[in-house]
Structure formats: C-alpha cells, structure tokens
Amino acid sequence: MEEHEYQKGIKAWAMYDWANSAFATTIMAAVLPVYYSTVASADLSPADATANWAFTTTIALVLVAILGPVLGAMADFTGAKKRFFTFFVLMGVTGTALLYFVGTGDWLLASFLFIIGDIGFSGSIVFYDSFLPHIARPEDIDQVSSRGYATGYLGGGILLAVNMAAIMLVPDSLTQLMTRLAFVSVAIWWLVFTIPLWRTVKEPARRIHANEVKKNVFAASFGRLSKTFSELRTYRQLLKFIVAFWLYNNGIGTIITMATIYGTELGFGMETTLGTLLMVQFVAVPFAFLFGWLAKKIGTKPAILLSLAIYTLIAIGGYFLQVPWHFWVLGFGVATVQGGSQALSRSLCGRMIPKSKSAEFFGFFSVSEKIAGTVGPLVFGIVSKIMGGSRLSIVSLIIFFIAGGFLLTKVDEKEGIRVADEEEARLVKATTVENPIY
C-alpha cells in the first residue's frame, strides 16, 4: 500500500472517533445527565435521579455485552464488518435524535431512548475497533489508536462547546428547547462525520475454513465462538489482559458516565459540571498524543499502569469534593489519563488478536468493556441508594484500579503478540479468501 493511501485510511478511521465522541460528551457525560436529573426526573429526588441514570446505563451496556461476541463472529464470517457497523451507527443516530421529544417528567422515555442510542454507539465501536489491526502497521498501532482518541476528544469538545454556548446564552425560557436541539445536533454530527470511514476504509478480507463453506451464517458464527472458547488456553495472555481491562475499566467507565450527575448531586452548577467536562475534552487531546509517545519510550503496559495510579488518586480525591474548584482540579487530572489509558488498552488488545478474528475478539474486548461498565455504575447506584448520597460510591472505585493494575502486571505482552502472529499464520494457511456474503 502506498504511503498516501495508508495515511488516508488512518485519517478516515480516526474521523469516526470525531463523529461518535459527540455522543460520548453531549449525551453520555454532559448535557443529557443534567437534563435527565433536572428536567426528565423533575418529580424525583436528586439521589433517585442519579440511581436511575446508573441503572439505565447498566441496562444498555448489558445488552451490548450479550450481542458483541456473536455479532463479531458473524461479521468476520460474512465479511460484513462495515454493514454491521452501519446498522449500529444508524440505530444510535436515530435514538439520539428522538431524545428531542423528552420533556418534563419523561425520565422513562429518556432512559429508553438513551438505551437505544447507547446500544448503537457501543455496538458500532466493536466493529470500528476491529478495523484497527487491519489499517495500522504493527509499529504504528499505539500512535494510531492514540490519534483516534485525540481526534475524538477534539471533535466531541467542539460540538459540546457549541451546544453549551447555545444552552447558556439563550433566555431561560429557551434553555430546555436548546438542550433538546443539542441532542439533534449530536445525531447530525455523528452521521455526517462517519462518511469518511464509509467511503475510505475497506472491508477486510473474509477468510473461511473448508468446513464452513456450506454452513449458514448462524451455524458458522456460533461454531467459531465455540471453537474460540475451546482454544482460550492458546490466548492466555490476551485472556489475562481482558480480565485486567475488565477490572480497571470498571473505574474508568464509571467516572466517565457518573461524574457530571455526581457533581450535580453535590450542588455544583452547570457552569462547573459542563465547563469542567469541556475543559477535559481539550486538555485530553495533547495528553492522548503524549501517552502514545510515552508508550514508545517506556512500553505500552507501563504507560497504562501509570494512568491507573493517577486514576486511583482521582477516585480518592472525589470523596473530598466540597467546592467547585475541587471539581475542576479533578477534571484536569482525568484529562491527563483518560484518552491514554483507553487508547493504549485498545492498541495492546489489537496486538494480541489474530487479524482474521478481529471483530470476534474485539467483541470479547467489548464485552469486557461493557460488563465493566455495568458493574461500576451498578455498584455506584446501589451504594448511593443505601447511603443516601454518592461520596462513598466514588471512593469505592479504587478497588477496580488496584485489582486491574495488579493483574495487568502479570500479562506478558510479547508472548501474547507471538501467539497472535502464529495463529494468524496458521489461519491464513487453513482458510481461503472469498468475497463477502452480502
């Protein structure tokens, strides 16, 4: 592949981070949680609104966790990663646009539409991530993954800034309308900036075994999943990493999804909660690139461990929040590590995956991520209900960072990469390349 085409593919792939991050910022982390707490849940107590938001997030992530590996295996078998990707993008865009119709007291409708949008968002990322090992050279994968996250923070931050300005500068009588229009803007942004990936990133080669030629999609896909489960011992280092990721991503995911509504519960105004999130988006851009550079200098795994140490301090600091500037300081801390920890986790996983099974294994990676996202908010919500507040919920997250970091130290990434390369070579010999079914 010519260098120009290689760089063009990377740029197009990274633009999807720009596209979907609008959902992550405006819908998941900033505007919708506040709208959910103050408008959609106007008839509920702040603690009940926080708990309901946590449970809503849990339901969405459980559904994606169940679907991820199955859909990934189907996409690998059919050679239809881009079709599956498109289906989930359109689902997410539709659910997000329909949030426009959520009004005062409509917390149940808001929960339902958020679940639809989040399934689309999370499902599309399974297939988006699976393109990474195909479009990036092995020596570039950390930097390409970090570039995606940096691009996403910038894109999500720009639209969030526009939406915040629109919401905060209009008269109070128009605030609710502008918030609902912000939801529509996310749907449009998401759809439009997905076009470069659709146009440029090619469907990876479809490889099938001789015994799969006459099988239907479901039989072949479940057969592949069953075979992968039976061969998990082969991928011991990858499996160990996924469990470690499952643990520490509990804490990361919960901080991302619960920070804004937690700040609202503590009585911080929108200028603090949304302003901090906006600051995080732009500060995170250079730090995402920095962690990509750091991974080259000290190694991917040590760089992730450094980010987890910082996250542990952030979780402890969250217990002591009293005044708005505390929230800003912790937000800056999150900005320094959020992109780096996720980008390097994605690239490390991509290195230890055979390319011919990229969607299937990223489905498992996604399950790890999504189940982590269910346990963290669920624990957060339960502790909040029991204690009548969320201070102990935030500090309890340190157990996830400590346990996940400890297991990560036991992962031999070089051995995992060696196994992936050998398995890919074996799969290439044992399979044939065919055109996509669809």
Name which residue leads in pLDDT, 201 or 62: 201
Instruction: Choose between 356 and 246: higher pLDDT.
Output: 246
For residues 187 and 256, what is the distance between their CA atoms, to the nearest angstrom?
20
Considering only 212-216, 299-303, 382-386, 434-438, which range has the smallest mean pLDDT? 434-438
Please determine, for residue 435, whether its predicted confidence score (pLDDT) is greater than 60.
Answer: no
Span of 108-117, 154-163, 276-285 with lowest mean pLDDT: 276-285
pLDDT bucket at 434, cuts 50 / 70 / 90: low
**pLDDT value of position 178:** 95
Task: Give the pLDDT score at 109.
Answer: 96
Record the tokens describing residue 198, joined without a space. Answer: 């659709």
Distance CA(129)–CA(259), nearest Å, equals 25
Low-confidence winner among 76-80, 360-364, 406-410 (lowest mean pLDDT): 360-364
Structural domain includes residue 355: yes
The confidence score (pLDDT) of residue 327 equals: 85
**Would you state the pLDDT for residue 114?**
95
d(C-alpha 164, C-alpha 332), whole Å? 19
Mean pLDDT of the region 342-350: 86
Please state the rounded mean pLDDT for residues 37-50.
85
Contact 349, 418 (CB under 8 A): no
Kindly tell me the number of DSSP H helices and DSSP E strands found in the chain: 18, 2
- Is there a domain that residue 227 lies in? no
Predicted pLDDT at 432: 61
Percentage of the chain with pLDDT > 70? 86
What total number of domains does the chain contain? 1
Two tokens at 34? 């506040």
Mean pLDDT across the chain: 83
Overall average pLDDT of the 132-161 stretch? 87
226-251 pLDDT, tens digit each = 766 666 677 889 889 988 988 898 88
Cβ–Cβ < 8 Å for 178, 167: yes
Predicted pLDDT at 426: 78
Confirm whether 218 is domain-assigned: no
Q: Which residues pair with 432 in a beta bridge?
A: 208
Phi, psi torsion values for 434, nearest 5 degrees: -130, 165
pLDDT value at residue 275: 82
The dihedral through the CA atoms of 375, 351, 304, 334 has a sign that is: negative
Q: Tell me, what CATH number does 355's domain have?
A: 1.20.1250.20
And the tokens for 245?
Answer: 């990721």
pLDDT at 364: 66
- Whether 338 and 256 have beta carbons less than 8 Å apart is answered as yes
Q: Measured between alpha carbons, how far is 155 from 18 in angstroms, rounded to an integer?
A: 5
Mean pLDDT confidence for 387-410: 83
Domain that holds residue 121: 3-199+235-433
Residue at 248 is within a domain: yes
Half-sphere exposure of 153 (CA within 13 A, CB side): 28
Read off the pTM.
0.75
- Give CA–CA dist 403/126, Å, rounded: 25
Res 3: pLDDT: 81
- Percent pLDDT > 90 in the chain is 28
* 136 found inside a domain: yes
pLDDT surpasses 80 at 260: no
Side chain identity at residue 236, one-letter code: R
Examine the pLDDT at 73 and tell me if it is beyond 80.
no
Does residue 112 lie within any of the structural domains?
Answer: yes
| Residue 367: inside a domain | yes
Beta bridge partners of 209: 431
For 51-72, what is the mean pLDDT? Answer: 77
215 pLDDT exceeds 70? no
Query: pLDDT value at position 385?
Result: 74
Bridge partners for 208 per DSSP: 432
Question: Which of 11-15, 198-202, 287-291, 381-385 has the lowest average pLDDT?
Answer: 381-385
Is 408 within 8 Å of 248 (Cβ atoms)? yes
